Structure 1
Amino acid sequence: MTQHVVVGAGPVGLAVVDVLQARGADSVVVTRDSTPDLPDGVEHRHADVVYPDDAVDAFAGADVVYQCSQPSYEQWVEEFPDLIHGVIAGVEAADARLVVADNLYMYGPAETRLTEDLPYLATGPKGQTRADCANLVFDAHEAGRIEATIGRASDFFGPRVRDSVVGEQVFGAAVAGRRATVFGDPQLAHTYTYVPDFARALVFLGERDEALGEAWHVPNPETVSTRRFVELVYDAADTDPGFPHIVAVSDWLLTLGALVSSPLGELAEMRYAFEEPYVVLDTKFRDTFGDAVEPTPLEDAIAETVAWYRDQQARGEPETEPVHIETTPSEAGESA
C-alpha cells in the first residue's frame, strides 16, 4: 500500500488526512511540537523537519509527502527556507513524491487576474520568501533529486480554519452574533478557497504524473465580493448582529494598527490583496484535468463551515483571538 506522509496538522494538513482516510490510505502525520487528535489508524511521528536528518527519519517508507506545515507567520523569512530544505532532503532520501500546499504571495500586486504564468514580483519579505521556497522545490525537481508539484490556494475558509481573514473575524463573529471585521474594500471581488477542496486537489495532484514540475491553482468556488461572501455567512448562521454586519478596516487604519499589533504588522504586507479585485483563475487545472476535482458550491461550503463553528461553540471550544482593531463603522470607511 502507498504510504502518505502529511507534514503539519493545521487545517490543511488535517483536511488532507480526511481525504486519505476516506480512501482507506496508509497515512502518517508529522509534527514538531503538538500531538494532534488524529483518526484511528493514522500514525503520528514527532520530528522537526527543519533538520534534514530528522526529515529523513520521519519520511522513511513514504511514497508521497504533503508539505502542509509552516513556521509562525512572523518567522517565515527566518525559518521557511530551512523547512523546505529539510523537507526536500527527507523526500529525496525516501525516493518519494512531494506535494506542496502553497499560497499566492509570490506574485505580489498584480493588475490582472492571477494565473500560474505570472512572474514572481513580490516586493515584501513574505512574498519573496514564498517565491524562494517555490524555487527551491522546482530546482530540486529539475535537478532530478525529487518529483514535485505545487498546489496554490487563495485565502482559506472551512472547518478548523480560525486564523484567516475570514476565520474568527467572519465565521466566528457570525455564529456569535457579532459584526464581522474585514480588510480593505468589501465591495471588491475576492476569491476564497474552501480547505476541503484544497485538500482533495493536493491529493489528486500527487497522483498525476502530468502535474509534476508545475504549480497549479486549485479549483475554487465562484468568486464574489467580500461583502457578498459575508452576507452568505450571516444567512447561513441565521444571526443578526444589527446594522451594519461588516466593519471594514481601511488602509490607513491597518497601517496605524500595524504600529501597535504584531499580527496586523504581519498582515500589512498583503494589504494590496484587499485594495483591488483579487480574482484567482483555476483554468489551467480545469483545462488539464477536467472535472476531476469539482469545487464545493460556495453556499454549501459556507454552510458546512458555519456548522463546524457552531459545533465548536456548542462544545465550548475556546476561540482563537481574532486580529482586532477597535473601530466604529464610520472610522472603518467602507461598511455594510
Structure 2
Amino acid sequence: MVSSSVKADVPSGVEAVQADLMSESGALAAIKGANNVFQCAAPPYHKWEGLFQQMMGHIAHAASYHQANLIMGDNLYMYGEVKGPIHEGLPYKTHTRKGKVRAELARNLLNLYDTGTLKVTIGRGSDFYGPHARNSSYGDRFFGPLTKGKAVSLLGNPNELHTVTYVEDFGRALVILSEHEDAFGQVWHVPHAETVSARKFTELAYEVAGHAPRIGTMGRGMLRLGGLFIPAAKEVVEMLYEFEQPFVMDCTKFMKRFGKEMTPTPLRAALEETIAWYRQQPQ
C-alpha cells in the first residue's frame, strides 16, 4: 500500500510504502514494478479541486509509463441528483463542485483507455463502512460512539433508503475487475447488501453492538455551523441531497457478469465484523 505516511492504518501483512503522489517522481517511484494499481486515495475532502486532478494525472502517467493496469475506486458524486436507481448508464449531471471533479477524473481516465494510453477500469461504491474504513460518513464518528452505546447523528432524512457499501466487498470487487480483460474500459457499480434506510442500518448496528439506539439528525444548518470550525463539515453541505432523498445504487451490471465470483456480505454479518474491529482499536 502507498500512503503519505508509513504509519498508515492497514491490515497485518500489508506493507505500507511512503510516497508523495502529488509529485510525478513520487508516483513513478511508488508504482514501479506493479502489475495492478488500485487507486483509492484522495486529497483532503475540502481540497479536492485542483489537487485531485493533479494527483490522478501523476498516477495515470506512472501507471501508463510502467504498463500497469489501473483500477480506480470511485464514488457516485458525478451523477448528481437522480430519481430512481443509480446505474452506470446515467449521464454525469452533477451540480456540485466535488461531483464535477469526480466526473472530470472519470472522463479523463476513460479517454486514456480509448486512446490506448492506459488500461483502466472503474469500480464505484456508495458510502462505505467496515474495518479500517475510518474516514467516511459511517466511519469513526459513527461507529466510535455507537460501539460504546453513545448517540450518533445521521445526515438529512434518516428514513430515506440509502445504499451503503461494505469496504471488504468493495475491495473484493476491485480485485475481480482487475482479473478480467472485459472489465477494462468500463464503469462498474460494486455489489452491496440490500438497501435499507439510514435509520434501519443504524438500529441494526446498535442491536449488533448490544445497545439501545440513540439516534439524532444533522441538517444543513448544523453542518454550516460546524463548517465554521471543521472544513470537512462545510464540504458535506453540497452533498447532503444524497441523504435527503432515496439514494439507491444499482449493481445489476456487475452481478450479471461476475455474480458467480462473489456475493455481497449480508448487513448483519458486515456489521458484526465492523463492530468487532472497532472494539479492538485503542480508545
The TM-score normalised by the length of structure 1 is: 0.80
| Structure with larger Rg | 1
- 1:196 aligned partner: 168
- 2:91 aligned partner: 119
**Displacement of 1:198 after TM fit?**
0.2
What is the letter of the counterpart of residue 53 of structure 2? P
What is the letter of the counterpart of residue 139 of structure 1? N
Percent identity for Structure 1 against Structure 2: 41
State yes or no: 1:139 paired with 2:111: yes
- State the SS of the aligned residue for 2:280: helix
Q: 2:266 aligns with which of 277, 297, 305?
A: 297
- 1:239-318 aligned within 5 A: 239-240=211-212, 245-312=214-281, 317-318=282-283
Q: 2:143 aligns with which of 171, 184, 199?
A: 171
* In 2, Cα distance between equivalents of 1:62 and 1:122: 34
The CA deviation string for residues 75-100 of structure 1, in whole angstroms up to 9 with x for no partner, is: 11121001110011110111111000
Structure 2: gaps of 5 or more residues: none
* In 1, Cα distance between equivalents of 2:32 and 2:260: 34
- 1:1-336 aligned within 5 A: 29-36=1-8, 42-240=14-212, 245-312=214-281, 317-318=282-283
What is the letter of the counterpart of residue 160 of structure 2? L
**Displacement of 1:291 after TM fit?**
2.8
**Displacement of 1:72 after TM fit?**
0.7
* In 2, Cα distance between equivalents of 1:282 and 1:234: 27
For the Cα contact (< 8 Å) 2:6–2:16, is it kept in 1? no
**Displacement of 1:110 after TM fit?**
1.0
**Displacement of 1:260 after TM fit?**
4.8
* In 2, Cα distance between equivalents of 1:59 and 1:210: 23
The TM-score normalised by the length of structure 2 is: 0.94
Give the number of equivalent residue pairs: 283
The CA deviation string for residues 148-203 of structure 1, in whole angstroms up to 9 with x for no partner, is: 00100100110122222222333222211111110111111100000000000001
* In 1, Cα distance between equivalents of 2:6 and 2:259: 38
The 1:250/1:42 distance shift into structure 2, 3 A limit, reads closer
Considering only aligned residues, what root-mean-square deviation do their CA atoms show, in Å?
Answer: 1.7
- 1:324 aligned partner: none
For the Cα contact (< 8 Å) 2:19–2:27, is it kept in 1? yes
Structure 1: gaps of 5 or more residues: 1-28, 319-336
* In 2, Cα distance between equivalents of 1:291 and 1:156: 23
- State the SS of the aligned residue for 1:294: coil
* In 2, Cα distance between equivalents of 1:147 and 1:232: 40
* In 1, Cα distance between equivalents of 2:231 and 2:141: 17
